[in-house]
Chains A and B, each alone.
Chain A
């Protein structure tokens, strides 16, 4: 069974040199449309941001070249590291929970043993389609302690828990993010399961394998590639967390959300209210570097595990 996903099999035989060159040209032709637009939308702006990061644009006195000063300042900026620490903590807790849910749900849906599979599948995915502003409105109500549902819950149980106090806000954001993105990840897993040829299950069933054995021997290995993908993208998504902490302060008082709550929110505030574009660009690039290192580490691990198999 060959289902190693992340490392796509290198194309098998070595072709003759000329054929290889031709193949290379065809490959380039296939990738060119994506590549060209990608350069326009991502690469050039990134390079421009890198350029900006060497400058300080003052409100009075204009643009001056400051070399690496923005980076130096960033490394000593406790607000930046506070945000970095927060997204790391968040990633360590929320991402595993969300992915386990997503995977379990995908397996459940794929088992065909559910009543109303179609309904469940749509419902679980739906939150992903709700605009962030509306999502935050909804959760603001559900978790509100004065007029919201959580208030009624506190009353009924005699508890006094505030989901939006500085100590608990991050957990509440976790609940909101998990709500919004579990369905998204579930679908990736689900699509991967759908790509497994059904004949494998039939063969296994004929061999007398039960459901759990099929899951362990066929389905989980088939999910490994998708797992690496979802982990990486969840990490990127979390490291760029922005919407929830940006909208929350307008709905709940003193939730502990600061202007530098996450690095991305900090970058936004630096660039958009502080006119510190150069500094914001430096922050974004450093954050990207951190993300790449983490994502790369995950990928390496994922590959190693895959080859252990």
Chain B
């Protein structure tokens, strides 16, 4: 990264800030934040305040801390268990799925194999099948292998991220110069090593994107775990929170704990923000692409 001229204060890398542009973007940000503001405000309310005070106004008591304590102690502290399950599903699932997508995307973009087009068509075609309709066949299949009600029933489907594969394919084609790969092979590197040492670093920005999407989609995965798991000890957060929410709307002896549902939703978002922030440094401009110029 060489500055064009050391005398100029504003460069392509660091142009003058535009207030107009910031305000326009800020307006959209407001649209994004308004509902989240509601979430934050309402996480500070007790159940009694939640059902009786105006949505964006604070409640009579500030109950955020109480709510958090309750979230972690309700039903013998099962929330922590759900949190750990989710972390397990997310970390393993996102890592494996991103790696498989990179491997596959690389093969699609840089290697030849028989049936490539068919493969692509089948993958793209399959994601057009509504997941809801597949849930029951998937359940029956997994039940047959004896994997329902185990973490595998959630993990294995999460290893497959067709969207990630697609992104990786597109990005590999774009960002990995074939010449560089061939140079590495001429230097005697094997195909897998070339992939690991040359291609993978170049794919970092795309990889982080795919990782993040996998992360979030596994984190928010609801329908499949709902079908596959019956034991609350293996629930991810989404299923658990929904069950808490449903407690209040099933007639009978359910407890109305919307304050816990909302607080737990807020707590659920926090790790995602952290993940996002810690991953975003990989997007810093230039980065691996500098290597192209060698």
Residues on A close to B: CB < 8 A? 3, 5-6, 8-9, 11-12, 20, 23-28, 30-31, 33-35, 37-38, 40-46, 48-49, 52, 101, 105, 108-109, 111-116, 118, 120-135, 137-139, 141-142, 147-149, 179, 182-184, 187-188, 190-192, 194-195, 197-199, 201-202, 205-206, 211, 225-226, 229, 232-233, 236, 239-240, 242, 250, 263-264, 267-268, 271, 277, 280-281, 283-285, 287-289, 291-292, 295
Inter-subunit contact A295/B137 (CB<8 Å): no
A113 and B21 contact, CB distance less than 8 A: yes
Q: Is the CB of A113 within 8 A of B17?
A: yes
Contact A267 to B103, CB < 8 A, known contacts A5-B173, A35-B119, A118-B280: no
Selected A-B contacts with CB under 8 Å, 16 pairs: A5-B170, A27-B111, A27-B113, A34-B101, A38-B162, A126-B36, A126-B269, A126-B276, A127-B32, A127-B35, A131-B220, A133-B242, A138-B36, A179-B32, A191-B209, A287-B129
With contacts defined as CB atoms under 8 Å apart, how many contacts are there between chain A and chain B in the complex?
A: 312
**Contact between chains at B34 and A142 (CB < 8 Å):** yes
Distance between A269 CB and nearest chain B CB, rounded to angstroms: 10
Q: How far is the CB of A305 from chain B (nearest CB, A)?
A: 15
Q: Would A108 and B125 count as touching, CB distance under 8 A?
A: no
Q: State which of A128, A264, A295 has its C-beta within 8 Å of the C-beta of B132.
A: A264
Given contacts A114-B21, A123-B29, A195-B174, contact A48 B133 (CB under 8 A): no
Report the Cα distance A44→B122, complex, angstroms: 12
> B18 is contacted by which of A5, A48, A114, A122 (Cβ under 8 Å)?
A114
Among A9, A45, A133, A139, which residue has the most Cβ atoms of chain B within 10 A? A45
* A113 interface neighbour in B18, B110, B195, B205, Cβ under 8 Å: B18
B133 near A188: Cβ-Cβ < 8 Å: no
Cross-chain contact of A142 among B38, B129, B174, B213 (Cβ < 8 A):
B38
Give the interface SS of chain A, mostly helix, strand, loop or mixed. helix
Which of chain B's residues have a CB closer than 8 A to the CB of A9?
Answer: 173, 178
User: Which listed residue (A49, A109, A195) contacts B134, Cβ 8 A?
Assistant: A49
Q: Contact between A149 and B56 (Cβ–Cβ < 8 Å)?
A: yes
Helix, strand, loop or mixed for chain B's interface?
helix
Min distance, Cβ A156 to any Cβ of chain B, angstroms:
14
How far apart are the CA atoms of A29 and B235 in the complex, in Å? 34
Closest B residue to A116 by beta carbon equals: B22
B21-A11 in contact (CB<8A): no
Q: Does B75 contact A (CB under 8 A)?
A: no
Chain A residue numbers with a CB within 8 Å of B232 are: none
B285 surroundings in chain A (CB, below 8 A): 194, 198
* Range of interface residues on B (Cβ < 8 Å): 35 or more
In the bound complex, what is the Cα–Cα distance between A42 and B156 (angstroms)?
11
Chain B residues near A128 (CB-CB < 8 A): 216
Asked if B251 is an interface residue, CB under 8 A from chain A, the answer is: no
B163 cross-chain contacts in A, Cβ below 8 A: 233
Contacts of A184 in B (CB 8 A): 213
Q: Are B289 and A195 in contact (CB under 8 A)?
A: yes
Check B103 against A31 for contact (C-beta < 8 Å): yes
Q: Which of B15, B212, B276, B289 contacts A197 (CB 8 A)?
A: B289
**Is B175 positioned at the interface, with any CB of A under 8 Å from its CB?**
yes
Chain B residues, CB < 8 A from A129: 216, 219-220, 269, 272-273, 276
CB distance from A152 to the nearest CB of B (A): 9
Is the Cβ of A8 less than 8 Å from the Cβ of B108? yes
Cross-chain contact B28 with A124 (CB below 8 angstroms): yes
In the complex with contacts A27-B112, A191-B205, A240-B125 CB distance below 8 A: no
Q: A33-B100, A211-B15, A281-B137 are in contact. List 11 more A-B contacts (CB 8 A).
A: A8-B169, A11-B178, A24-B114, A30-B106, A34-B165, A129-B272, A132-B220, A191-B208, A198-B289, A240-B132, A284-B134
Contact A202 B21 (CB under 8 A): no
Considering the chains assembled together, what is the distance between the CA atoms of A128 and B219 in angstroms? 11
Question: Which of B174, B212, B277 has the most A CB atoms < 10 Å from its CB?
Answer: B174
A45 touches B25 (CB 8 A): no
> Is residue B66 contacting chain A, with contact meaning CB distance below 8 A?
no
A111-B21, A233-B163 are known contacts. Are A263 and B286 too (CB-CB below 8 A)? no
Asked whether, in the complex, the Cβ of A291 is within 8 Å of the Cβ of B128, the reply is yes
Q: Contact at A122–B276, with CB atoms within 8 Å?
A: yes
Are the CB atoms of B25 and A105 closer together than 8 Å? Answer: yes
- Nearest Cβ on chain A to B241's Cβ, whole angstroms: 7
Closest to A191 in B: B209
Could you tell me if B136 and A277 are in contact, using CB atoms closer than 8 angstroms? yes
Structural contact, B241 and A34, CB atoms closer than 8 A: no
A-B CB proximity, top 6 nearest: A284-B133, A27-B113, A8-B173, A30-B107, A27-B111, A45-B137
Q: Which residues of B contact A199 (CB under 8 A)?
A: 293
Q: Is the CB of B26 within 8 A of A120?
A: yes
| CB <8 Å contact, A179 and B104 | no
Contact of B133 among A192, A229, A271 (CB under 8 A): A271
> In the complex, how many angstroms separate the beta carbon of A261 from the nearest chain B beta carbon?
13
State whether B174 touches A3 (Cβ < 8 A).
yes
B128 touches A202 (CB 8 A): no
Answer whether residue B6 sits at the interface, using C-beta atoms and an 8 A cutoff.
no
**Contact partners of B220 in chain A: CB under 8 A:** 129, 131-132
